[in-house]
Amino acid sequence: MPANLTPQYLAAEKTFRAAKTVAEKIAALEEMYATIPKHKGTEKMQGDIKRRLAKFRQAARETKGKGGVDPFYVEKHGAGQFVLFGTPNSGKSAIVGAVTKAHVIVAPYPFATHGPVPGMMAFEDVQIQLVDLPPVAREALVPGMIGAVRSADGILVCVDLGARDLLDQVDVCLGVLEGRGMAPDGRQPPEGGVTKRMLLVGTKDDLPGARSNFEALQDLHRGLLPMLSISAETGRGMDDLARRCFEMLGIVRVYSKEPGKPPDVGQPFILPRGSTVLDMASAVHREIAENLKRARIWGAGVYDGQPVQRDHVLSDKDVIELHV
């Protein structure tokens, strides 16, 4: 069976070959695993990616243990990891402080944040990891920080809607990312680089003039990358931020159900969008996948308890009853 590898997968593989640090290799392998078409023809490759991932993750842990620490390595938790990327004082830490339990320093002076600070943000029943980072400036980037940006699942580019140099901030951020081989999803990647999921987050939406500045920004950069305006101070737009992050991850949540029992809504299984009933079964247990006889589904676009084939593509919030 031909593997039918996608351009995204091939790009990730290229990044893997070019990767110099363990963190970069891990990030590239994760991307390869996420983008490789999941079918019989790629099973061996999938296994191979998983093996290599385990090896590099082990290496990362061992380096940590020896004190040869990558200060910007943040172990991933939850459904996905987003870094906050922006110029000094743009309100990155305030966001992380508002939506997670992380202890961040929010300060009226620039360069308040020195290292990565992770925290978990909830979107409904899903946890998404945010990582606060030190600021970016046109020339200066804290050494090692770019590895954290590369390995994240997405980048929240934060710009201060109340600042006079708003457009400059956008240019600096996108320029630095481009210079390090990263372009927004859907755009042409820089030579030898990759595209990353990015959201332009206009902060401090409560400040005078912020709303009209955001509109101007939308007019100028519409189509370049998706945008959202928020205020950590008033909380406006913060729910949208969580939703947008969830949507950017390209994942679905599905719940398992035992015959005759209510669904187990405690913890969803998180799967890449496009996953099938069989993928879900594999996520529950390999043996269940191997012995799967039939499945029933509750959710959008199906009638309650509808029997489905193993290649049925799952929708967000589906409930699946697996029969072996």
Ligand X SMILES: Nc1nc2c(ncn2[C@@H]2O[C@H](COP(=O)(O)OP(=O)(O)OP(=O)(O)O)[C@@H](O)[C@H]2O)c(=O)[nH]1
Minimum distance from CB of 97 to ligand X (Å)?
7
Among 4, 51, 54, 111, binds ligand X (CB under 6 A): 111
Minimum distance from CB of 225 to ligand X (Å)?
19
Query: Do residues 54 and 77 make contact, with C-beta atoms less than 8 angstroms apart?
Result: no
Residues 195-229: b if buried by 16+ CB within 10 A, e if exposed: bbbbbbbbbbbbeeebeebbeebeeebeeebbbbb
91 or 119: CB nearest ligand X: 91
Site mask for ligand X (CB under 6 A), range 236-255, x = bound: --------------------
Q: Is 233 in the site for ligand X (CB under 6 A)?
A: yes
Q: Is 93 in the site for ligand X (CB under 6 A)?
A: yes
Q: Is 113 in the site for Mg ion (CB under 5 A)?
A: yes
Pairing of strands 194-203, 251-257: unpaired
Q: Is 110 in the site for ligand X (CB under 6 A)?
A: yes
Pairing of strands 294-298, 306-308: antiparallel
Site mask for ligand X (CB under 6 A), range 202-221, x = bound: -xx-xx--------------
111 or 311: CB nearest ligand X: 111
Helix (H) or strand (E) holding 95: helix 92-99
Minimum distance from CB of 94 to ligand X (Å)?
3
Tokens matching residue 51: 């093996």
- Rounded to whole angstroms, the Cα distance separating 102 from 136 reads 21
Query: Do residues 189 and 178 make contact, with C-beta atoms less than 8 angstroms apart?
Result: no
Q: Is 100 in the site for Mg ion (CB under 5 A)?
A: no
List, edge to edge, every strand of the sheet that includes 251-257. Answer: 269-272, 251-257, 318-323, 294-298, 306-308
124 or 239: CB nearest ligand X: 239
Among 116, 135, 189, 193, binds ligand X (CB under 6 A): 135
**∠ Cα 273 305 123 (to 5°):** 40
Which residues are paired to 203 by β-bridges?
Answer: 160
Minimum distance from CB of 246 to ligand X (Å)?
21
Q: Is 232 in the site for ligand X (CB under 6 A)?
A: yes
SS3 198: strand
Query: Do residues 251 and 270 make contact, with C-beta atoms less than 8 angstroms apart?
Result: yes
Q: Is 89 in the site for ligand X (CB under 6 A)?
A: yes
**Sign of CA pseudo-dihedral 295, 299, 305, 308:** negative
124: Cβ–Cβ under 8 A, 6 or more apart, which residues? 246
Minimum distance from CB of 74 to Mg ion (Å)?
15
Choose the stretch contacting ligand X; rule: CB under 6 A; options: 42-50, 84-92, 117-125, 256-264: 84-92
Minimum distance from CB of 98 to Mg ion (Å)?
13
Q: Interface with Mg ion by CB under 5 A: which residues?
A: 92-93, 112-113
Q: Interface with ligand X by CB under 6 A: which residues?
A: 86, 88-94, 106-108, 110-113, 135, 203-204, 206-207, 231-233
